[in-house]
Chain A
Amino acid sequence: MMSLPFFGLCVALGFAWAGRRAAALVLWAVSIGFLLLLFRLHATDPLNLML
């Protein structure tokens, strides 16, 4: 599951190569959205900081 953003960005790059800009933009957005979701799943410990 953690590898999906890499593969999504690879496909985005492939679409860019093929000249399909809109598809590349969608794949980039989905990949970054999934990156943020994975970050949320992993950032579970509270930070021991006083801000």
Chain B
Amino acid sequence: MTALLTPARARGLNALGVLAISGVLAFAFADQLLAGHLPCPLCILQRVGFAGVGVGLALNLRFGPRPGHYAIAMLSAIAGGAISARQMLLHVVPGTGTYGAPLLGLHFYTWGVLLSLLIVVGCAVLLLFERQFAGAGARVPLTGLGLTALLLFGLLTLGNGISTVLECGAGLCADNPSFYQLLGPQR
């Protein structure tokens, strides 16, 4: 069974993974820019966790699949998931308020916990397929899907960084941000 996942197929799966992470970041970004919901500090940190996962998968794209790259994705997902869990526990008792609007019945931080768990389980399952690690270490030229995924993910990570500067300035973000600090209150 482990022969099913060749290095090339693994790179294809990792490209889809980077695209999926880009989708998560893009969705959160769209909610921020189109619906005007500014992310709270913990929400921003959860996005960093997802970006860390993307870096691990991107390393698989560039250098071929390696167990260490999956470890990077898993550790990032655990860090982001812990932050999501903390925010979920802040609001888990009924009547203690929520942050943001729910999506399909769950708030973004609850989705963050579920997605982080899914990433950890997904990476663990992929680690079972050892044939993908044959010939690890060679630099792989980026083309097609992998190149597109990496460019999109890089742009979204950079965009999140710029947006965070606008929202929070040089210090820590406000607990309940209502405007971009560097742009001033909207009239």
Contacts and interface: CB of A to CB of B under 8 A. Distances in A.
Interface stretch (B2-10, B90-98, B107-115, B118-126): B90-98
Secondary structure type dominating chain A contacts: helix
Interface in B118-169: 139, 142, 150, 153-154, 157-158, 160-162, 164-165, 168
A43 B52 contact: no
A49 B92 contact: yes
B79 A32 contact: yes
A25 B68 CA distance: 10
Q: By CB atoms of chain B within 10 A, which of A10, A25, A45 has the most?
A: A10
A3 B158 CA distance: 9
Given A1-B171, A16-B62, A39 B83 contact: yes
Nearest to B41: A42
B58 A16 contact: yes
A12 B55 contact: yes
Contacts of B79: 32, 35-36, 39
Nearest to A28: B55
A10 B93 CA distance: 37
Interface string A17-39: 10101001100100110011011
Q: How many interface residues does chain B have, given as a range?
A: 35 or more
B26 interface: no
A29 to B, nearest CB: 9
B117 interface: no
B150 A17 contact: yes
Contacts of A48: 93, 96
A9 B164 contact: no
B51 interface: yes
Contacts of B157: 6, 9-10, 13
Interface of A: 1-3, 5-7, 9-10, 12-14, 16-17, 19, 21, 24-25, 28, 31-32, 35-36, 38-39, 41-43, 45, 47-49
